Structure 1
């Protein structure tokens, strides 16, 4: 109810606003409604071509069956940037109503959390706190209901699959995740966590007393069952395109490696720090005449367009290099899940680390991808003080890095107010749960997070009113991305340290 009330409020106050992603999904509605399936992944009238897996395309097709009753003009492919009031109303309502799956998934996840029975303090009830952290998640709220996307029901699939694994309903969990992969392929990044956990906890029916595997207990039938689920879902999704010989075309849309290393807005990850260092070295090189200005690349790394560029001083990064870095950064968490199993919570920790590793080192990472780590981490944060500390750093930093998505003047007070309310609740509720275990943040983490306040004032209020910003339009984005990248990197390292430190102490129960 909290999420729906906030969404309806935003619908009423922001009905006239629409982002680039709004036009993306309007165009996909038109493509799936107006063309036969065999032409979906070839249509290129708009620059926003269909680049999600087939299940999402069918989802858009289903929406288009309803959209025609609001405004048929939105379903004409040639009507680029069509944004009538009925079109905006339908798009907004479609996001709100598809959140039903997300709300149900949150309910199931809350049942998997150890709650305090008989407590009279709402802020001390982990299940209630978790429900608010997920339903009222600031990042998901602004990305879906202001900026405009359909992440809510997609995260619903993920959270529901996690809940099913906690409930030892492994085949259901595997099925839901397989379906999710064919809705949005970015979830491939967390597939190693699912694969290793299902292989170890489901295909092996027994363990030794020390936690090691009993190789004689391996069930080939269970492995076949998992393989059948994956193949069945993949056949439903990709089968027609394989028959038509269109699989290479579909894959070329799903994995557009011709795009640059970074998205138009720098995601706060390792490559933001790498780019900033290259920028600083190039400025120093020009000042002291170590570099030739005529030979420097002209592409801007923080402009509004997606484009390729070459680094000036540091080695340029290729897609293969990012894939290698991502795989290497995931391996320790996957090995830990296999050799130091800690049940479903060990799987969840590995999932968060895989998501965060892909965010840190992936190719052309969108800043919104940080939610892939923040939302699952919420489940751990309400049960362990160590994870709560990491969550506060990651969520505060990651959410603030989304601010550049909302760049108009009317949106400034809205995003600040929503961010402030969510952050205050996160800190107060988690502090209440772990009040007997001391402060959640150390002095260094506290100083870093406080530093986000002057950063926001500088980038959102001071710089836009200075004349010299015309010469350095990239500076606000650069400062925001680099500062937030430090916090995300710190949270990633801290989460890895906690994973290898062994199972954390069980949260003390209220006496």
Structure 2
């Protein structure tokens, strides 16, 4: 019944009218099976703010129970404006901050790179067409990365905790950020080591303590209203809602490994507890190489590579994956557009095409042209130094759009009515796996080539 549009509207309704203790709890006034709130408190506070504004403009938009299913043109405009405003208020400043670290002498001009971030059609389609607010958590993430590159780990921790408390899927980025902060806090790999091991140990411990204290305090600031104005179980209710493992291994025809290869192995027939363990093990094992290198050489380049690799691992192998989760790998990919233009070009094209089934579900088939225009724009930015290889990378992208075209214009066999969305997911997953293998190879090769400088990496 309905979709994410109604979910976002309903959360505004619930948070505006009901006390905090009922936000995450099944009650007579909040039936959780009807688009119950399932994101952390920062999303709830944002929904409450939007609900207050909606009630001020038109109370019928968030009237308790009576507003269910409302989709007037005026309300759609309001919802779309809130998404655009969030994009401009949080995500765009994050892009601007990141671009301030770039240089005009690099392969892609900073202005073009900024446009690739801001106009990324996957994010625009999901947030403005599917009515989400991913730009808020991704904006906080970008700001966190900006401060991490500057080695300002305390303020970086604050912004990442905000991102995590807006959408729990920011866990996709948590491992590289944790390893990076740990490595730079230990002071083991830099020229700034003190004369004695004891002094160096104490300084490292102090750095880690400050980061831990800042992180805990930020969590407390976000969660305290829920505990203070709710009751003793309000926080636990929120945690249970944020991790709904009962929903299954994946949703719809998502381009994850488990969905793409499910017809061959039937992962969905395996015990759910076993699949959770297998998913966790798969994510950890495939992430280890990049995390180890990041720990040994905590530089900006390895941080960005690890963020891309680990977030893609999470998307491919984690439990309970949605199509829009690919955005969590797309933004780290954009951070590498200068170093790996062809790989990023290939990945972002497949990422957009993997979202097209979601566009069709929302009756946004015309987003195909948005994706294709971005594809052509990206291609024009690939440095000519890549030679004829850049033309070779056109073929996988065009094939992605071919599968998208089949979803709209193709007539599936009666026996396999969902074959075209599945083919899109399978093809996208395959390209993701190829990109993942190459990224690991590139990161390991780059690290080994710099082996004479082990222990004393430069900050780039």
Residue 409 of structure 2: aligned partner: 461
Residue 12 of structure 1: aligned partner: none
The answer on 1:21 being equivalent to 2:11 is no
Structure 1 residues 158-195: Cα deviation after superposition (integer angstroms, max 9, x where no partner):
11111122223222111100111111111112111111
Equivalent residue in structure 1 for 2:24, among 31, 34, 41: 41
Give the distance between the partners of 1:488 and 1:375, measured in 2 at CA: 15
Give the distance between the partners of 1:196 and 1:457, measured in 2 at CA: 42
Q: TM-score, normalised by structure 2?
A: 0.88
Structure 2: stretches of 5+ with no match in the other structure = 451-460
Equivalent residue in structure 1 for 2:134, among 151, 156, 162: 151
Residue 3 of structure 1: aligned partner: none
Q: 3-state DSSP class of the match of 1:451?
A: helix
The answer on 1:81 being equivalent to 2:33 is no
Give the distance between the partners of 1:154 and 1:446, measured in 2 at CA: 32
Structure 1 residues 21-55: Cα deviation after superposition (integer angstroms, max 9, x where no partner):
11001110011101111111104425211110011
Matches within 5 A, 1:133-144: 133-144=116-127
Say if 1:272 and 1:485, in contact at 8 Å, map to a contact too.
no
Give the distance between the partners of 1:427 and 1:111, measured in 2 at CA: 24
Give the distance between the partners of 2:151 and 2:97, measured in 1 at CA: 13
Say if 1:27 and 1:80, in contact at 8 Å, map to a contact too.
yes
The answer on 1:310 being equivalent to 2:269 is yes
Residue 481 of structure 1: aligned partner: 425
1:450 Cα offset (Å): 3.2
Give the distance between the partners of 1:390 and 1:58, measured in 2 at CA: 38
Say if 2:137 and 2:164, in contact at 8 Å, map to a contact too.
no
Give the distance between the partners of 2:273 and 2:40, measured in 1 at CA: 30
Residues 19 and 134 from structure 1, CA distance in 2 versus in 1: closer, same or farther, beyond 3 angstroms?
farther
Residue 288 of structure 1: aligned partner: none
Structure 1 residues 111-144: Cα deviation after superposition (integer angstroms, max 9, x where no partner):
1123229xxxxxx643112101101101001001
Residue 457 of structure 2: aligned partner: none
Equivalent residue in structure 1 for 2:256, among 248, 252, 269: 269
Say if 2:403 and 2:420, in contact at 8 Å, map to a contact too.
no
Matches within 5 A, 1:165-184: 165-184=148-167
Residues 160 and 19 from structure 1, CA distance in 2 versus in 1: closer, same or farther, beyond 3 angstroms?
farther
Give the distance between the partners of 1:326 and 1:391, measured in 2 at CA: 21
Residues 315 and 75 from structure 1, CA distance in 2 versus in 1: closer, same or farther, beyond 3 angstroms?
closer
1:451 Cα offset (Å): 2.2
Q: TM-score, normalised by structure 1?
A: 0.79
The size of the alignment, in residue pairs, is 437
Q: 3-state DSSP class of the match of 1:80?
A: coil
The answer on 1:54 being equivalent to 2:34 is no
Say if 2:261 and 2:426, in contact at 8 Å, map to a contact too.
no
Give the distance between the partners of 1:486 and 1:215, measured in 2 at CA: 50
Residues 209 and 102 from structure 1, CA distance in 2 versus in 1: closer, same or farther, beyond 3 angstroms?
closer
Residue 345 of structure 2: aligned partner: 392
Residue 222 of structure 1: aligned partner: 207
Equivalent residue in structure 2 for 1:103, among 92, 98, 123: 92
Residues 208 and 435 from structure 1, CA distance in 2 versus in 1: closer, same or farther, beyond 3 angstroms?
same
Say if 2:129 and 2:362, in contact at 8 Å, map to a contact too.
no
Matches within 5 A, 1:276-425: 276-278=263-265, 309-310=268-269, 318-341=275-298, 343-382=299-338, 384=339, 387-407=340-360, 411-412=364-365, 414-425=366-377
1:19 Cα offset (Å): 6.5
Equivalent residue in structure 2 for 1:231, among 209, 216, 233: 216
Give the distance between the partners of 2:189 and 2:286, measured in 1 at CA: 30
Structure 1 residues 254-296: Cα deviation after superposition (integer angstroms, max 9, x where no partner):
1111111111x222121123213136xxxxxxxxxxxxxxxxx
Say if 1:368 and 1:402, in contact at 8 Å, map to a contact too.
yes
Instruction: Single out whichever of 447-456 and 45-54 deviates more from structure 2.
Output: 447-456
The answer on 1:188 being equivalent to 2:144 is no
Residue 494 of structure 1: aligned partner: 438
Give the distance between the partners of 2:446 and 2:240, measured in 1 at CA: 42
Residues 493 and 441 from structure 1, CA distance in 2 versus in 1: closer, same or farther, beyond 3 angstroms?
farther
Say if 1:333 and 1:499, in contact at 8 Å, map to a contact too.
yes
Structure 1: stretches of 5+ with no match in the other structure = 1-17, 118-123, 280-300, 302-308, 507-511
Residues 216 and 353 from structure 1, CA distance in 2 versus in 1: closer, same or farther, beyond 3 angstroms?
farther
Give the distance between the partners of 2:15 and 2:335, measured in 1 at CA: 36
Structure 1 residues 73-124: Cα deviation after superposition (integer angstroms, max 9, x where no partner):
222231321222332221111111112221111111111123229xxxxxx6
Residues 407 and 437 from structure 1, CA distance in 2 versus in 1: closer, same or farther, beyond 3 angstroms?
closer
1:205 Cα offset (Å): 7.2
Give the distance between the partners of 1:267 and 1:483, measured in 2 at CA: 11
